[in-house]
Structure 1
């Protein structure tokens, strides 16, 4: 993979442990990094973000090669991994830090994000109106080191085995059949 031609996208779809794990399995993704964005606090910490008072969402920054995987394919994965009709929550994870959000860098990306939301909403995969925010990226803050690759390092913790593991199995089956996963 040519690291000089990588593009970046940042979005949030609930707990970043699952989102990061899944995107790191895709062909064309160089790296998925858990972090925070969208808030007003400089250098946010997990503990602060969990209070819901920082304005930050748990997000993942994806570094990808657009010659291998497209923005549209990444959006398909994004909408597969979370329910974009749930306002400020995903399952039992409740709060603005778990909101559905796509951060864009420029007007071209904003238009692509708007188109992706419309296309996914029109597909009928999720019943209801999408609440996914489309917001200008101001700053991405990487999460603490222990959050990077969290599921891989901790698959047997109660949250990972009950929530993240089943979602990853469903992801592997669906996108494995499409041939999108690294061997």
Structure 2
């Protein structure tokens, strides 16, 4: 399986931290819904946490079958959190992406394959230099079918020996999603010259595009 041979490609890239001082344009998160956005009939939603959401957003934006990607916060106990609150590590939220995709073009299993191939799911509450529960590996499933597929895939990866350590990815029921501030959206495409983009995200993207070229738009 492609995932097994590709799984370690990103382990040495994360030498810079994602968290930084909030942008002066950080807005109040009041009035945003706890639920996912409404999607067209026939489309599906995946909520994934794989470290800094700037990285995971960039990966999924270019996939065939993916219709929309939003960066945001899930899994916490504070309503309407801001970036400043989430990066304090006290709200219980994870930085996540909300992926809207067409299962006729890309299956949930393929979404999961890419998810586990592009971050380290064996490090608890950490991705490289990004440390804290907000950077935990997580799948917030939207249905019983998603739960079963995620748990099955995780079990098979552990049994395959793809990783030298157990996978610690949290697989839990979706409870909330808050859209992150505007300046976090489309971050890599609009801020490609920033150091974190240059030294962490861009190398990830280059390796990802080589390994999954047939899945790109």
TM-score, shorter chain, exceeding 0.5? yes
Distance 1:115 1:36 in 2: 25
Distance 2:204 2:101 in 1: 22
Which residue, out of 45, 56, 60, partners 1:8?
A: 45
Structure 1 contact 79–120 (Cα < 8 Å) conserved? no
Which residue, out of 60, 67, 73, partners 1:30?
A: 67
Which residue, out of 132, 140, 144, partners 1:107?
A: 144
Look at both structures and tell me which one has the larger radius of gyration over its CA atoms.
Answer: 2
What runs of 5+ residues in structure 1 fail to find an aligned partner?
none
1:92 aligns with 2:129: yes
What runs of 5+ residues in structure 2 fail to find an aligned partner?
1-38
Could you say which residue in structure 1 is the equivalent of 2:158?
121
SS of aligned partner of 1:4:
coil
Post-superposition Cα deviations, 1:124-163, rounded to whole Å, max 9, x if no partner, equal 3322101001111011111111111001111111111111
Q: Larger relative CO (CA 8 A, sep 6+): 1 or 2?
A: 2
Could you say which residue in structure 1 is the equivalent of 2:20?
none
**Which structure has greater helix proportion?**
1
RMSD: 1.2
TM-score by length of 2: 0.80
Could you say which residue in structure 1 is the equivalent of 2:215?
180
Could you say which residue in structure 2 is the equivalent of 1:83?
120
Distance 1:29 1:181 in 2: 10
Distance 1:122 1:27 in 2: 29
Post-superposition Cα deviations, 1:80-103, rounded to whole Å, max 9, x if no partner, equal 110000000000000000000000
TM-score by length of 1: 0.94
Distance 2:158 2:116 in 1: 9
121-130 vs 62-71, which moves further: 121-130
SS of aligned partner of 1:73:
helix
Post-superposition Cα deviations, 1:21-80, rounded to whole Å, max 9, x if no partner, equal 110100000011110000001111111100000000000011000000001000000001
Distance 1:46 1:81 in 2: 23
